[in-house]
Amino acid sequence: MRRLCPTISELNAFHSAAKHQAFTMAAKELCVTQSAISRHIAGLEEYLGQKLFIRKATGLELTDAGATYLNATRPAMAALESATSQLMSYGGNGGALNL
């Protein structure tokens, strides 16, 4: 059965690689290895059935599909970051759980 969405790790790797135009810098930002970034991007490209980057000697360049996907997923990634920050700012254990 095919999963419904890409993983957060794949999306984080994609956004970071697009921002830095390099797997090495994306790996440093996300505190993972360059090969982990490469695997996440390869997995995302396989899942989507699209190449997202053109790999060049000077770095990465988004394909048209990659640029479209970046723009389409940017609001969702920002919403996840915002929701996470808001929840973390509450402190404590998150409140009472009533069963």
Q: What is the 3-state secondary structure (H, E, C) of 29-51?
A: HHCCCHHHHHHHHHHHHHHHCCC
Average pLDDT over residues 76-95: 85
Could you read off the pLDDT of 13-34 as tens digits, one per residue? 999 999 999 999 999 999 999 9
Query: What pTM was computed for the model?
Result: 0.86
pLDDT of residue 95 exceeding 80, the answer is: no
Domains of the chain: 8-79 (1.10.10.10)
Confidence (pLDDT) at 80: 95
Could you read off the pLDDT of 35-81 as tens digits, one per residue? 999 999 999 999 999 999 999 999 999 999 999 999 999 999 999 99
